[in-house]
Structure 1
Amino acid sequence: MLQGGVWCMHTSATTQLPHTLPALKAVLVDDKIYMADVLSNDIIVLDLATSSFSRILLPQGVKYHTLHTILSPADDASGLYLIHVHVKEHQLCIWLHKGDNWLLVDTLCLHQMWANLRMRDHTLEDEDISYAYISQVGDNVQFVFLKTMCGCILYLDVTSRTLHKVHGMTEKDRHFSAIYPFMMIWPPIFPALKDDQARQGSWVEMGQPETVST
């Protein structure tokens, strides 16, 4: 924990694991950290308040996959979303864990939404969404970023159940595939530079013509 510019230990906890865990995508929800254990197919929960570990079984029929499954915090501090793509069925399922139960909140047909997108964008006629994986997801599952094998990045608006193409990668930039979504004001408003007048004066002194408004 960073406090007063100094790192200090907030809490510590230990547990025994049957195997070495690979790199995990941790999600912080209130005072709990959720980490998906790919090998045991469940979710490890670290409770920071009690310094204890627990486990949550995945929903029935869901097998965790690094490319097809992702966790996301819910608006309610006690809730956790799990988003999973069923590749064979071309479906994206949204689960909510609250209390001790999983609730299937929504199921979206990617195949149908992809067909609708291709009708609007004819440049996608040769693209294929038969294998799409999750790149990022927004808080409370408002949106999901998907990436296809052909390098096409798609924005899925969960509320309107609509796909949008946001980027088409070329061979040169396919390895630059990390997405970090964030919210901002649009159009952006940039602050004025403090030395703006001094810079303008230097520009005039260097012999550049000064613009006069009439």
Structure 2
Amino acid sequence: MAVHDFSKEQRDVFDDQHRELKDILRDKAGAEAGVAVKKFDVAISEFAWEQVPMADTQKALAEAIHLANDRKFSNIYEAFLNAPLGSKKEEAKARDLLCQAHGISTTSYRPRKDWELVRAAPFIALQADSYWKDSPEKVLQLASSLQDRGDNYAESGRTRTMDLAASDTTGKLTELLSQYYELYDQSEEEVQARRARGTTYPWN
């Protein structure tokens, strides 16, 4: 079960909890707020999709909780952060502890390419929203295109979306879309190889 597989009740708990903690991180991190929130967000997402070892999740969350310095969230994550990870059995128990902290039942692996695409679409739409503040219909049209498999695969669909993005005079949306389609065309093996090289996209 990944984040998109949660029941509505689980998703609400999951979202509310992380929204609150991200607000705390923004207040505490100051000039580094954007970096701190993104690191936390990536850590939670990678945990839910089983993208990294549990030790990486534990380290990332330890940093976030230390920065937040909030009793409520320290208590929520305490059992997981103190959990040993010396064996597969201990890792499984730690995963269960973090699932309990999040109010979800379990997690499951998804291909890295799927994880990146799911993160990319809302990231690009959010950037579009900042460029087209007075044109919400453009943002909606772009977001819809990114969720449409036909538009993503077909050259005609990509051309329409790129033409729409071209109305952003900064050129940043066009660049993001080019990267998005580049990712879309990669195989899982190519995505994993790029990841091993440490090459990332803005939404990673």
Same fold per TM (> 0.5)?
A: no
Relative contact order, CA 8 A, sep 6+: which one is greater? 2
Q: Which has the larger radius of gyration?
A: 1
More strand by share: 1
Using structure 2 for the length normalisation, give the TM-score: 0.21
Per the normalisation by structure 1, the TM-score is 0.20
